[in-house]
Amino acid sequence: MFKTADGKSYGITFLLVSFLFPLWAICNGMIDAMDKHFQDFYHLSKAESANVQFSHYLGYFFMAMPSGWLVRKLGYKGGIVIGLLIAAAGCLWFFPATRIDGFWAVLVAVCVTAMGLTFLETVANPYTTVLGSPRYASARINLAQSFNAVGWPLGPFIGGLFFYSAIKGTHQEQVNAAHQTLWVPYAAIAIIAVVLAAIFLKSKMPEPGSGELATADVEIDLPPEVVAKTSLWVPILLFINVCFLGFALGMIVRFFAQIFYMDKATLADPEAMKALGIRLDYVFWVSSSVFFALGMALFLGKRKALSASHSIWAHPHFSAATIAQFLYVAAQAGIFSFFINYVVEDMPAIGESLKSAWFIGGDAGSIFRNGAWHVSDQGATKLLSYFGFILFLIGRYTGALILKRTSAHKMLGLYSLINVILMIVIVAKLQWLSVVALFLSFFFMSIMFPTIFALGIFGLGATKAKSASPFIVMAIMGGAVLPKVMGAIGDRDGMSAGFIVPAVCFAAIAFYGFFWSKLSGSDGLVGADVSKGH
């Protein structure tokens, strides 16, 4: 499987590349365990703590295009080394960040680490396809992704050990103690990243040449009558993309303004935070309006070029995919990041019999509150690791089997519609039924990222697919923007109410799935590869 036609074996190189998969999965998983800790340590609202996710996805947004360009210039080896070193720098910054009196320092660490991970994700998946015979390219990707599967549950498990202290004392004393050890797992990841960078730098790594596999399909020419029907959607979807982009860029400006003006003294003063919030909202609306106006001017000026047959934006199933991906990652990030808040605040009491259960981490996983035992912060991270992400992985692998025989857009629509129902159950506060709905949502989210990606580039051909892919990757900016809205609703009306945001997102994704064939002019895509995904 790892031998090329000339007899060379790249099994060792494949093994090294495979180590990258759990590395970014663990980092992503730990991010989801951070929010509640920062809420308690910095006395943040849920909306403010969502800046952790904002910083994480901002790193991906900033580096999606540059990473692809640098990899083309420096090759796969250069891209991996740069990515590892940037990620190591971000991880090492966590040590001084936890000693600096400011939330901004931690957010810088999160953002820089994510920028390095962007390189690794850009390189690793395609590189596994060339490390051996083309015949086994798909098998190699799936094997490498099995390493990724190990990392996802480990992330919140490790986070629970270091972000939520089990020492005896008041809750604030536990929070303060945990903050002093928050940097430890990141320091370990930094050391691993530097060692891997040195090994990659010394290793002989093949660069794909004429034998590189073309994973995208041949461009499909649609009949004129189909083009006429689908072209009606082009300006509408482009307008929605402009709206989303203006909104996202406005949020970025607001984010940097908040980081610049907000310090620990401001956070401790409710009146100062209220006044700052009003100013930041003004900054957001002004900047969003400016970016929207600029986007519309560009759209109107380039309307004919964007609608021309050679443009990727002339394919409505692609431009709709960028919207669907924006909304999916927003829903995923919101559910992952506020999982702990929901379990701690809205999950029913567990009773005496379950307070020491292994799946919540024993006695440290429970807390006595309001006359009953409830799951603690640390216990919630164990539930996220043991059940949430395990269901996510089961869903991805079973989804891969189902999609070999079922149209991808129909499965996307069905899974999204089920998640809409599950989110409504959570909002309705139906006790344990709502808790079950939360866990089931992990299963039905599992196939969405890679399926939307595959549906978006379907029929574009190899050349256009390469141009379209970075835009779909950049659409993960939704994971930075909408969780702040979800957190704001959670602050005002309770965490359960905040799940109305992913409900709306999943409803839009369901619409994309069920109407994809009309947008693409195709009967369907069968055999979509969902082993890959963020």
Domain boundary among 149, 172, 205: 205
Residues 447, 455: Cα–Cα separation, whole Å = 12
Instruction: Supply the pTM of this predicted model.
Output: 0.79
User: Which helix or strand (DSSP H or E) is residue 375 part of?
Assistant: strand 372-375
Domain count, the chain: 2
Q: What is the pLDDT of residues 36-78, one digit of tens each?
A: 888 888 888 887 888 888 898 888 888 877 877 787 788 778 8
| Three-point CA angle 123, 145, 24, nearest 5° | 60
Residue 347 is given by DSSP the state S
Whether residue 260 is contained in a domain is answered as no
Give the CATH number, domain containing residue 111: 1.20.1250.20
Identity of the residue numbered 193: A
Identity of the residue numbered 443: F
Domain boundary among 152, 172, 205: 205
Per-residue pLDDT at 133: 67
| Least confident among 305-314, 446-455, 489-498, 507-516 | 305-314
Residues 357, 374: Cα–Cα separation, whole Å = 12
Q: What is the pLDDT of residues 488-504, one digit of tens each?
A: 898 889 899 999 999 99
Residue 315: closest CA among 227, 199, 442: 227
Query: Does the structure show a pLDDT above 70 at 143?
Result: no
Domain boundary among 161, 182, 205: 205
Q: What is the mean pLDDT of residues 277-296?
A: 88
Q: Say whether 250 sits in a helix, a strand or coil.
A: helix
251: Cβ contacts below 8 Å, ≥ 6 apart: 54, 284, 288, 480, 481, 484
Contact predicate 91/179, CB 8 Å: no
Band (213; pLDDT cuts 50, 70, 90)? very low
Residue 449: closest CA among 414, 480, 473: 473
Q: Which of 145-149, 180-184, 427-431 has the highest mean pLDDT?
A: 427-431
Length of the chain: 534
For residues 16 and 160, membership in a common domain is answered with: yes
Band (280; pLDDT cuts 50, 70, 90)? confident
Whether residue 8 is contained in a domain is answered as yes
Q: What is the pLDDT of residues 361-397, one digit of tens each?
A: 666 677 877 778 888 887 888 888 888 888 988 887 7
For residues 13 and 132, membership in a common domain is answered with: yes
179: Cβ contacts below 8 Å, ≥ 6 apart: 37, 41, 98
Residues 69, 469: Cα–Cα separation, whole Å = 13
Q: Which of 342-356, 422-436, 443-457 has the highest mean pLDDT?
A: 422-436
The residue range of the domain holding 142 is: 1-205
